[in-house]
Amino acid sequence: MSLFISYKVVDESPTIISGVFCIIGPHSLVIGRFLYVTMIGMQPVVNNIKGCGKMLAPIKGFERDKTPYLIAAYVTDKSLPYVTADDAARLTHINVAFGLVKDDAIVTDHLKNLYMLDKIRSDNPSVKIVLSLGGWGAGGFSEAASTKEGRETFISTALQTMTKHQFDGLDLDWEYPCYGEASIACSPDDKVNFTTLCQGLREAIDQQGKKDNRHYILSIAAGADQYFVDGTEMDKVEKFLDYVQLMTYDMRGGFQTLTGHHTGLYTGTGDLFRISVDASVRIFEKAGVPKEKIVIGSAFYARKWNDVPDNNHGLYQMTSSFGGYGARYSELAENYINQNGFIRYWDDEAKAPYLFNGREFISYDDPESLKHKSAYIRDQGLLGIMYWEHSGDKKRELLQTLYEELNKK
């Protein structure tokens, strides 16, 4: 079956498009017209179609180009002034980190650089700027989601904040429903309450979208491993979301004394902890999230272990302490990669680089690993990639790699 569309853009967001379509099947042909296309995430949904199923002569047109892959940057308030016009041109989405939950309400008075959003929009009017809510150690979600009144306050204030600052949507970064490891409140009821909260947000921002004649984004940042799926109802939640951003970084380090790849594409032989980008995608797909809604994560910073045995170049070795945060990628490139006693190694099984100097092991992403992640996105039919955090790539070597690889013809 083939689909041909001829159209013109009415609203340059682009959110409103009018034109004609032609569907050619093995035994039939359907032509008609559509009045508009609403962009849900990066996936077009054609509305108000009128057509017929008669055998008619084909309408001349062209096959619509595939929607560009999503490239999203998490940008902290401190980093907003450093988002350049070139950055905005290479990104499809920016997640501003973070709005917080206080007494069930969304607050942003701690964010001092939101005035920069107008400049970013002027640099690239098509980039989507989303407010991310939460982050590691940011509480208030469990309490707000636990009651009808709390959810109503959460949703109404989120909506007010979104419209006041002209955000293109909201991103929930609750870390994590049903878990209190980040020293936040939690409850077994979070599992159902998270679904209810997402449903309420979807309904509210859709109502606002009708008033504003546009679509607002709703996404989440999800922990990469099975624990997040066990603490949520992803088969239900995904229906309310434009896309799911998998935090496929910090997969080693914070809770493990075994060295390994904290943002590796595949799981290597000999790795006791089996999570990787690919394993995470499989977990969420099995839980009911469509591939075309999945956004994988990349890290613009490193994880580091000290006092590592000098075996196997430090890879998959037990240490006396957890892996802490290491340098940002720019610092790695300037002072660590094949410098000051550190040697860069490549794990072709995991498609990931690492550094070792005989006692310190460092895991990170680089242009080579991002090329493999980009190829994986294309091969698997995923929506795209996001990264934490924008300031880690001062020379934009990593962002440029993602842009080039995901915009190949």
State residue 265's pLDDT score: 98
Are both 157 and 33 inside the same structural domain?
Answer: no
Q: Long-range contact list for 42-49, CB < 8 A, 24+ apart?
A: 42/67, 42/68, 42/69, 42/70, 42/92, 42/243, 42/383, 42/384, 43/67, 43/242, 43/292, 43/293, 43/383, 46/21, 49/21
Are both 81 and 32 inside the same structural domain?
Answer: no
Are both 255 and 393 inside the same structural domain?
Answer: yes
The domain in which residue 104 lies consists of 70-302+366-406
Are both 47 and 104 inside the same structural domain?
Answer: no
Evaluate whether 364 touches 354 at the Cβ level (below 8 Å): yes
What's the average model confidence in pLDDT over 302-315?
A: 97
Quick: pLDDT tens for 81-119: 999 999 999 999 999 999 999 999 999 999 999 999 999
Q: Give the strands of the sheet with 301-305, arranged side by side.
A: 324-328, 301-305, 361-363, 352-356, 343-347
Are both 79 and 117 inside the same structural domain?
Answer: yes
Let me know if residue 271 belongs to a domain. yes
d(CA 336, CA 313): 15
Are both 113 and 201 inside the same structural domain?
Answer: yes
State residue 67's pLDDT score: 61
Are both 82 and 20 inside the same structural domain?
Answer: no
Q: Is 368 tagged catalytic?
A: no
pLDDT, averaged across the chain: 88
The residues facing 22 across adjacent strands are 4, 31
DSSP 79: G
DSSP 84: -
- Whether 218 has a pLDDT exceeding 70, the answer reads yes
Q: Residue 172 maps to which CATH number?
A: 3.20.20.80
Peptide bond into 125 cis (omega under 30): no
Let me know if residue 293 belongs to a domain. yes
Let me know if residue 340 belongs to a domain. no
- Whether 277 has a pLDDT exceeding 60, the answer reads yes
Query: At 268, is the secondary structure helix, strand, or coil?
Result: coil
Quick: pLDDT tens for 156-165: 999 999 999 9
Are both 180 and 98 inside the same structural domain?
Answer: yes
Are both 18 and 122 inside the same structural domain?
Answer: no
Catalytic residue among 12, 63, 143, 175: 175
What are the residue ranges of helices labelled H in 214-313?
226-230, 234-237, 277-286
State residue 255's pLDDT score: 82
Evaluate whether 391 touches 80 at the Cβ level (below 8 Å): no
Are both 165 and 136 inside the same structural domain?
Answer: yes
State residue 375's pLDDT score: 98
Q: In which band, very low, low, confident or very high, does the pLDDT at 68 lie, cut at 50, 70 and 90?
A: confident
Let me know if residue 114 belongs to a domain. yes
What's the average model confidence in pLDDT over 46-75?
A: 52
- Whether 76 has a pLDDT exceeding 60, the answer reads yes
d(CA 266, CA 196): 34
d(CA 130, CA 216): 9
Evaluate whether 4 touches 24 at the Cβ level (below 8 Å): yes
- Whether 403 has a pLDDT exceeding 80, the answer reads yes
- Whether 359 has a pLDDT exceeding 70, the answer reads yes
Write the single-letter amino acid at 317: Q
d(CA 115, CA 8): 33
* Token pair in block for residue 26: 């093995």
Task: Quote the number of domains for the chain.
Answer: 2
Let me know if residue 332 belongs to a domain. no
Let me know if residue 127 belongs to a domain. yes
DSSP 14: T
- Whether 50 has a pLDDT exceeding 60, the answer reads no
**Which of 11-25, 28-42, 57-71 holds the top average pLDDT?**
57-71
Let me know if residue 74 belongs to a domain. yes
Give the burial class of 272: count Cβ atoms within 10 A of its Cβ; 0-12 exposed, 13-18 middle, 19 or more buried: exposed
* Token pair in block for residue 23: 């569907």
Are both 23 and 103 inside the same structural domain?
Answer: no
- 312 or 13, higher pLDDT: 312
Nearest-10 Cα torsion for 207, 209, 210, 211: 90
Are both 35 and 171 inside the same structural domain?
Answer: no
State residue 240's pLDDT score: 98
- 40 or 172, higher pLDDT: 172
Let me know if residue 92 belongs to a domain. yes
State residue 60's pLDDT score: 30
